[in-house]
Structure 1
């Protein structure tokens, strides 16, 4: 279930309450007249709505311009002990796990794809950790670096922007992705030079056999297959609010380690490995974006068809 908190000008309250009460899957409607100070004298409207009915209600509220004249806030309800809530979920179309809240998805990916100091810091730290894993041929460090990297946010933002036809989100996410990797690799090149000067990195290590990390600079068909599967899993975890699955996605795809190996190889003038790692990086990024976009398209089409079929069955009755 979702909990909606609406702040509405008092002259629009009756219209909004009528809309909420007429939405299948909505319940627990409460109105607190005059509770708001901004807008002055505005009313506070509270309600619960089944997740599968939430996207439609949010879209209609935005069509009424409530996001311009007031406020729409949405929260996930972890536990709701109510027969009315149970009945609302039963009446709502489809299953909650299959419903996509496009407004929530756009907001989440917008936040995660912002080029900020914190985002760049995580990218640089993840890449430097991976660089240590590359030099030491340590798979544990590689996995740790993959979990730290925040690159899935911009990748999901590109997919969401493409499906929603939001060029602004696409460009914002692409900028964060490209700039983040570029700056992280640049920092890692400097980090490698410092580690060599301190005698902690051996410049000949990249020529040695690396059974645990050699795959990073040797892309093959499986690299793309894994990227596609991880892209699907990551997108489903976002749209179904199962964020825990993102950890598994993060440690499945060789993005940050490939960037780290490219930076270290470039620093050691091992240009063959640098190019192989870059190819691995681009292959994985492309596979994730492609899979994420197609997953969102399929979810959107299937949901629209499901709702159309449900309306047709109701009309036939």
Structure 2
């Protein structure tokens, strides 16, 4: 089971309060901790070693304890192992009152994922606009165009694995779930710039090189079927779970299954070559993948229990998440109807 180390830097005068809080919660979370003095003789550092599934509970309690002040600092990092092994905490049954509610409304629940703060940090890294992101979009777009033009599956898979558009979409889904307007704006900006750049590159390629005589890979991305929608939803949910589990190796398969860049590149190539009907088909497939990914992302984040710390932020985020889920669901319903009527005609 993955381990985490939570390092807490506090003023020395707050040692007793921090120790008391850590001792109170240790039986429930099953962690070990110790304190060490820092060189400046005014601060202490506490290190807490615990199971990754308990990290969010502990972080939330610490954040509530410190309520937040610049004189404290919390750092989270991975640990390979600890000897002796951590004991699995025995969870006592929480008493239930006559109304059927738990006596402890805020009782900690074991979460089978990384903490909210770790997840936010991981997603933020892939959602912020940077020179590296622009170069990744540029290179992966060129790889996708070459693969589609040459009808080479291996090269196209290379573009899928690079997947520069996946991160901003996940960031947008997380921002929706947390009600984080700043992350939503940053993710949207990054996604729009990535889509625009990738489309422009493929459009120029289609205009200057024309359409290959035979390219089955291009033609495969000129139509959308119900199976494509199902695949996008399932792959999107799997990708979100991979993010919440902190397992980046699982994302490779998701990147290949959930194809974002190749349909967008195909749309640009078709349009540049003057094939507007085929371009519309490829564009529809790309839009379908975006819709399904974001819908699956919001729903999966909610099912994984991703939510803000305070109750007022949770209520606001819940309303935002429900509205966005309904919006993505409505867009998906319209897309399904378009596909249905196209098939029966």
Q: What TM bracket, shorter-length normalisation?
A: 0.7 to 0.9
Distance in 1, Cα, partners of 2:251 & 2:78? 18
Who is 1:25 aligned against?
A: 29
Alignment counterpart, residue 240 of structure 1, candidates 220, 237, 245: 245
How far 1:254 moved relative to its partner? 2.1
Who is 1:291 aligned against?
A: 296
TM-score, length of structure 2 as denominator length: 0.77
How far 1:114 moved relative to its partner? 0.3
| SS of residue in 2 equivalent to 1:300 | coil
Distance in 1, Cα, partners of 2:5 & 2:69? 16
Deviates further, 222-231 or 266-275: 266-275
Who is 2:63 aligned against?
A: 62
Question: Is residue 129–residue 141 contact of structure 1 (8 Å, CA) maintained in 2?
Answer: yes
| SS of residue in 2 equivalent to 1:217 | coil
Alignment counterpart, residue 258 of structure 1, candidates 263, 280, 283: 263
Question: Is residue 120–residue 184 contact of structure 1 (8 Å, CA) maintained in 2?
Answer: no
How far 1:234 moved relative to its partner? 0.5
| SS of residue in 2 equivalent to 1:251 | helix
Who is 1:74 aligned against?
A: 76
How far 1:212 moved relative to its partner? 3.5
Which segments of 5 or more consecutive residues in structure 2 lack a partner in the other structure?
93-107, 307-345
Distance in 1, Cα, partners of 2:197 & 2:89? 47
Q: What number of residue pairs does the alignment pair up? A: 287
Question: Is residue 5–residue 46 contact of structure 1 (8 Å, CA) maintained in 2?
Answer: yes
Which segments of 5 or more consecutive residues in structure 1 lack a partner in the other structure?
302-317
How far 1:225 moved relative to its partner? 0.9
Question: Is residue 253–residue 284 contact of structure 1 (8 Å, CA) maintained in 2?
Answer: yes
How far 1:131 moved relative to its partner? 0.7
User: Structure 2 matches for 1:1-317, cutoff 5 A?
Assistant: 1-23=3-25, 24-33=28-37, 35=38, 37=40, 41-63=42-64, 64-65=66-67, 68-83=70-85, 85=86, 87-88=87-88, 98-191=112-205, 196=208, 201=209, 203-205=210-212, 208-300=213-305
Distance in 2, Cα, partners of 1:13 & 1:116? 41
| SS of residue in 2 equivalent to 1:49 | strand
How far 1:227 moved relative to its partner? 0.9
Q: Deviations over 1:146-184 (max 9, x none)?
A: 001222211111111111111221121111111111122
Question: Is residue 6–residue 44 contact of structure 1 (8 Å, CA) maintained in 2?
Answer: yes
Who is 1:306 aligned against?
A: none
